[in-house]
């Protein structure tokens, strides 16, 4: 069995990490006046500074050696060319083709998928225009005002994150709502203020079998039917995005109102496909197109830039360095932009569903760490919640700080205050504060020697906590497209370095199958499945109290 750990570059990085670990970032900056220029890159629509990582020239060179030794460029080219690199499902991975702006064909089994993409985009554009102009009428002849998007996971998080991020670009033609949780409280809350005659439902499910989505869709259908005895109401108020046309039709969606996607689009990479329909409805087609263009610019950069200039590659390799060689197991995403408040949740799925794997391409259990534990929150709120842990906790959490030069809402005094925190937190995480500085501060404040001695150990921040800065000019459809594509390619690169298949999600299936088995046991008297005593005890308690 050959492991990535046996590669010469991996071994060299392990040896090099022993030298780098004791070196403080403060020292690395003091020794190299060029450090910021050396370790920052202007990428399409995003500036990337990775200088506040425990790296030096040698680290970067060795990381690039590792990328080359893992054949990263040829894997990248295979992915973009439509090779079936999702080996466990026998599928190509072509979300890049959904946003590709060039006229060059992308052939999959001899068929140019770009033709299909163009046809679907044209259908989306026509439909979106009709709904937004008010030409699409509901059962009573009224135009649509509210769109309720029903879907979960990759069929929800992308559109939700993007429409939240670009909310200020909406012209208010349509209101958008999302239902993902099968907990009835969400669908009830969303539907309560809405009027059936002016509400449209977009049911997004690649498979059209996902139980949460189908349960919510049936509830929405009942809600609509309760308002009218019009036999065509469902067809006038429901559209679907799915690869399963038969199931969508039998649900009650008119065939011409089903938007399709393909098995070569993974759920968590699907917002560029018809899964992005809510985005186009909310913002208008031209802004959706700009989002695609921004992503395409980043793809082009990823395909063309040499490795030492390549943003997605460098972002990925710095993550590999922090995880595999410095031993950091988590990674935080901290947007300093309220509009990106769903980005951490979105990236959590994208990264953790992709690279939360422990079997390599050859079927061996890996003997190294793969995907990091991804978590995060809008940075400024995080500061008043978990940053204590980030600064002084025993677990070091490398973090991406995402901000923009221009605010989405320019209200005097706000953005500079926000961004002062953005810069300050990264600096504080890096530099920390030592005993001498604390002593000087407390002395100036008139503290006694005894008080100073007590406080010093509690106030010490050791610093040396790595961060990346991602700085955009402004959140726009284009820059957001570039940012998401940057992360998508980072995920791909890391998957190749770890020799794992980033594009399947078998780990999600097991729980789904077991829930399907337990569901009838909640309705019937008997528990028929072979469960452990804890599961039986909990189910029995639930049933007893439910029926009490």
**Per-residue contact flags (x/-) with ligand F6P for residues 299 to 338, judged by CB under 6 A:** ----------------------------------------
CB of 342 to ligand F6P, least distance (A): 15
Choose one: 151-159, 277-285, 359-367, 448-456; the region binding ligand F6P (CB under 6 A): 151-159
Residue whose CB is nearest to ligand F6P in the complex, by number: 267
Identify which range of 85-93, 119-127, 152-160, 314-322 contacts ligand F6P by CB under 6 A: 152-160
260-299 residues in contact with ligand F6P (CB under 6 A) are 267-268
Closer residue to ligand F6P, CB minimum distance, 154 or 481 = 154
Nearer to ligand F6P, 43 or 240 (CB): 240
Active site residue 490: no
- SS3 of 432, please? coil
Report, in Å, the least distance between residue 268 CB and ligand F6P. 6
Selected catalytic residue, list 384, 445, 544, 546: 384
- Which CB sits closer to ligand F6P, 83 or 89? 89
Residue 20's contacts (CB-CB under 8 Å, 6 or more residues apart) are 54, 55, 56, 59, 326
Is 101 or 181 the residue whose CB approaches ligand F6P more closely? 181
Coil, strand or helix: which one is 172?
coil
CB of 492 to ligand F6P, least distance (A): 16
DSSP E strands in 265-340: the ranges are 330-335
Shortest CB 178 distance to ligand F6P, Å: 13
Report how far residue 74's alpha carbon sits from residue 362's, in angstroms, rounded to the nearest whole number: 18
Question: What is the per-residue DSSP string for 512-546?
Answer: HHHHHHHHHHHHSSS--S---HHHHHHHHHHHHHH
Q: Which 3 state secondary structure label does DSSP give 36?
A: helix
Largest CA distance in the chain: 84
Interacting positions 196-215 with ligand F6P (CB under 6 A): 205-207, 210, 213
- Helix or strand holding residue 344 (H, E): helix 343-355
Q: Binding residues for ligand F6P, how many (CB under 6 A)?
A: 13
Helices (H), 104-175: 113-133, 157-165
Active site residue 18: no
The 74-93 contact track toward ligand F6P, x by CB under 6 A, reads --------------------
Q: Could you tell me the smallest distance in angstroms from the CB atom of residue 5 to ligand F6P? A: 30
Q: Considering the complex, what minimum distance in angstroms separates the CB of residue 511 from ligand F6P?
A: 10
Q: How far is the CB of 480 from ligand F6P (least distance, A)?
A: 20
252 binds ligand F6P (CB under 6 A): no
Structure token digits, residue 45 = 């629509």
Footprint of ligand F6P on 120-139 (CB under 6 A): none
Q: Give the pair of three-digit tokens for residue 540.
A: 């029995």
Could you tell me the smallest distance in angstroms from the CB atom of residue 348 to ligand F6P? 12
Q: How are beta strands 330-335 and 258-259 bridged, if at all?
A: unpaired
Interface with ligand F6P, residue 354, by CB under 6 A = no
**Residue 155 engages ligand F6P in binding (rule: CB under 6 A):** yes
- The residues with which 334 forms a beta bridge, in sequence order, are 401
Task: Name the residue nearer to ligand F6P (CB basis): 98 or 313.
Answer: 98
Identity of the residue, 270 or 425, whose beta carbon is nearer to ligand F6P in the bound complex: 270
Beta pairing, strands 238-241 & 258-259: parallel
498 Cβ neighbours under 8 A, 6+ residues apart: 4, 320, 355, 357, 360, 366, 368, 370, 371
Q: CA 509, CA 530: separation in Å to the nearest integer?
A: 19
527: exposed, middle or buried (C-beta count within 10 Å: 0-12, 13-18, 19+)? middle
Determine the straight-line distance between the first and last CA of the chain, rounded to whole angstroms.
Answer: 57
- Catalytic residue, candidates 197, 290, 353, 377: 353
Interface residue with ligand F6P, options 30, 61, 440, 508 (CB under 6 A): 508
Report the distance separating Cα 83 and Cα 412, nearest Å: 51
Report the residue number, 266 or 407, with the smaller CB distance to ligand F6P.
Answer: 266
**Cβ of residue 491: shortest distance to ligand F6P, in angstroms?**
14
Nearest by Cα to 218 from 296, 150, 294: 150
**Is the Cβ of residue 207 or residue 388 nearer to ligand F6P in the bound state?**
207
In this chain, which stretch among 147-155, 224-232, 378-386, 451-459 interacts with ligand F6P, using CB under 6 A?
A: 147-155
Radius of gyration over every alpha carbon of the chain, rounded to an integer in angstroms: 26
Burial class (CB in 10 A: 0-12, 13-18, 19+), 13: buried
Out of 59, 468, 489, 505, which residue is the one contacting ligand F6P (CB under 6 A)?
A: 505
Among 82, 153, 323, 379, binds ligand F6P (CB under 6 A): 153
Alpha helices in 363-434 (DSSP H): 379-383, 387-392, 414-431
CB of 316 to ligand F6P, least distance (A): 21
Rule CB under 6 A: choose which of 44, 82, 138, 154 binds ligand F6P. 154
Kindly tell me which of 189 and 263 has the beta carbon lying closer to ligand F6P: 263
Strands of the sheet with 40-43, listed across from one edge: 40-43, 46-49, 467-472, 399-404, 330-335, 373-376
Which residue's CB is nearer to ligand F6P, number 214 or number 280? Answer: 214
- The question of whether 512 is a catalytic residue gets the answer yes
Which one, 156 or 464, has the nearer CB to ligand F6P? 156
What's the angle, vertex CA 495, arms to CA 488 and CA 395, rounded to 5? 90
Q: Which residues contact 335 (CB under 8 A, 6 or more apart)?
A: 341, 343, 344, 376, 378, 379, 402, 403
Quote the tokens at residue 482: 């570039």
Site for ligand F6P in 212-251 (CB under 6 A): 213
Among residues 113, 117, 152, 485, the one that binds ligand F6P under rule CB under 6 A = 152
> Rounded to an integer, what distance in angstroms lies between the CA atom of residue 123 and that of residue 33?
54
Catalytic residue among 11, 195, 512, 517: 512
User: Distance between CA atoms of 225 and 208, rounded to whole angstroms?
Assistant: 21
Active site residues per annotation: 353, 384, 512
Which residues of the shown chain bind ligand F6P in the complex (CB under 6 A)? 152-155, 205-207, 210, 213, 267-268, 505, 508
């Amino acid at each position: 069995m050959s492991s990535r750990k046996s590669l010469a570059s991996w071994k060299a990085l392990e040896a090099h990490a022993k030298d780098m670990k004791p070196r403080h970032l403060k020292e690395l900056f003091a020794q190299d006046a060029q450090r910021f220029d050396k370790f920052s890159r202007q990428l399409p629509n995003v500036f990337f500074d990775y200088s506040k990582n425990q790296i030096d020239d040698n680290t970067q060179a060795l990381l690039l050696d590792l990328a080359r030794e893992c054949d990263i460029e040829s894997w990248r080219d295979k992915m973009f060319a439509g090779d079936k690199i999702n080996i466990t499902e026998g599928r190509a991975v072509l979300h890049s083709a959904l946003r590709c702006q060039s006229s060059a064909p992308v052939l999959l089994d001899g068929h140019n998928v770009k033709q299909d993409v163009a046809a679907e985009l044209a259908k989306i554009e026509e439909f979106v225009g009709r709904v937004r102009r008010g030409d699409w009428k509901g059962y009573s002849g009224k135009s649509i005002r509210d769109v309720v998007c029903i879907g979960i996971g990759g069929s929800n998080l992308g559109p939700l994150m993007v429409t939240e991020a670009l909310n200020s670009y909406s012209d208010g033609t349509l209101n958008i709502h999302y239902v993902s949780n099968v907990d009835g409280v969400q669908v009830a809350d969303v539907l309560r203020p809405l009027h059936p005659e002016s509400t449209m439902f977009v049911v997004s499910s690649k498979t059209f079998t996902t139980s949460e989505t189908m349960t919510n869709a049936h509830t929405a259908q009942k809600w609509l039917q309760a308002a009218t005895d019009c036999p065509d109401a469902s067809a006038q108020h429901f559209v679907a995005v799915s690869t399963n046309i038969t199931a969508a039709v039998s649900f009650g969606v008119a065939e011409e109102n089903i938007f399709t996607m393909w098995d070569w689009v993974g759920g968590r990479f699907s917002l560029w496909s018809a899964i992005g329909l809510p985005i186009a409805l909310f913002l208008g087609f031209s802004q959706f197109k700009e989002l695609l263009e921004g992503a395409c610019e980043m793809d082009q950069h990823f395909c063309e830039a040499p490795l030492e200039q390549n943003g997605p590659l460098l972002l990925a390799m710095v993550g590999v360095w922090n995880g595999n060689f410095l031993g950091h197991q988590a990674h935080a995403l901290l947007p300093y932009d309220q509009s990106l408040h769903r980005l951490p949740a979105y990236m959590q799925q994208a990264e953790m569903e992709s690279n939360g794997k422990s079997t390599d391409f050859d079927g061996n259990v890996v003997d190294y760490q793969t995907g990091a534990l991804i978590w995060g929150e809008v940075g400024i709120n995080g500061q008043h919640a978990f940053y204590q842990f980030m600064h002084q906790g025993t677990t070091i959490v490398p973090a991406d700080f995402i901000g923009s030069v221009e605010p989405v809402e320019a209200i005097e005094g706000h953005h500079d205050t926000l961004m002062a925190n953005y810069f300050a937190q990264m600096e504080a995480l890096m530099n920390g504060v030592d005993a001498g500085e604390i002593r000087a501060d407390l002395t100036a404040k008139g503290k006694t020697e005894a008080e100073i001695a007590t406080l010093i150990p509690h106030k010490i921040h050791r610093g040396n906590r790595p961060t990346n800065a991602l700085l955009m000019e402004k959140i726009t459809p284009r820059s957001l497209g570039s940012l998401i594509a940057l992360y998508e390619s980072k995920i791909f690169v890391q998957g190749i370095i770890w020799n794992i298949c980033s594009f399947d999600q078998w780990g999600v299936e097991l729980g789904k199958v077991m829930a399907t088995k337990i569901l009838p046991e909640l309705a019937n008297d008997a528990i028929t499945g072979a469960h452990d005593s804890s599961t039986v005890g909990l189910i029995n308690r639930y049933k007893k109290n439910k029926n009490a």
